Structure 1
Amino acid sequence: MLLSSIIENALLNLYVNVSAAKGFTPLEKRNHILSQYLKPKLKDPRYKSIKNELKQMLYISRTKRANLEKKLWELNAVSVGHRQKINDAAKLFDQLNFLHDEHGIDAKLSHEKSYDSPSDNTIYVSPEHIEHCFNQSGKQTSPLSLLIQGDKASGFAELINIRGLFRAERKEWNEKACQAHILLHPLTQS
């Protein structure tokens, strides 16, 4: 999802710049606009997981007569097709990666006794609960229970809901311990 987001934002940035320019924007200029958008992402630690893909895009933008815009549209089409086929278990993995990369929230598989001294800004989920909540094809069949403690716990459900992969419900809130018990529901019930 991170790569998809970069691709979509790069294309949006290109079209905003092209619409602001007067007249026709040649291929070389379009590649330059895209490379200016993508280049700073190489040094950003949030994009470490897609650094190789970013380098490949920048290489294409510097190649004579290469059309990075066309390549981004092709990648976007593949990404959209993949997103339509993705199951709930893969969405959970993607959601957890996003929370880690964008918000510094780790996730750990844990058993009940580990909940006694949880680390701050770490999501805890029981492996048995994951097995119970997802069927063999990866479809979520019941709400998944998550525990988080720390300064990001109070707004944790909103972070998930904004992303749009799941619907998060704050089941319990312990203000003194700054702990939240979250139920993660699938978006579609079928």
Structure 2
Amino acid sequence: MNPTIDYDPTFQLRTKRLVLRPTVPNDVERALEIRSNREVAHNLVAATLPPDPEKMTKWFSGHAEEWRQGTAYRLAITLNGRLIGVCDVFDITGGEGEIGYWLDRVAWGRGFGFEAAERLVRFGIEDVGLRSLRAGCADDNAASGAILRRLGFERLKDIRIFSTSREKEITQRRFHLDV
């Protein structure tokens, strides 16, 4: 397993329509705009509405160091050079990691989520060297659950978890993919 991959802001993962690249601090403004949409925030367990610019700035400023340490790889999802979302492999330890992704509301329903997640999974397995991946989504987020199943993830169990964005406990479906 390759524990770390050099951080290079010019690094790119390409799909048919998208470019995934390491996030940079300049992405914060656009990320705040995307995450300000109630429907986007609703699907993210730890999101606040409105998003906190200070927290978001701090989160983005730590991405390069996480990359260097091999603990997380946060990638901007771009379409024609414009940020439309973020995907990541995080909580990496012992050959395992978790994936996540979120997209601008206007990008929903066009296959971008699957396209980005598929490339992210390949990156986690082929480049990072992970042997298994985890993921989770709210039980009412059918689109995300469908993406995970299409990628070969198996549903393990449902757990109860507090959702900051919804300000209540929700049921989260947990998924797993072994390589």
Same-fold call, TM > 0.5? no
Q: Specify the structure having the higher radius of gyration (Cα).
A: 1
Of structures 1 and 2, the one scoring higher in RCO (CA 8 A, sep 6+) is: 2
**Structure 2 length normalisation: TM-score?**
0.29
Higher strand share: 2
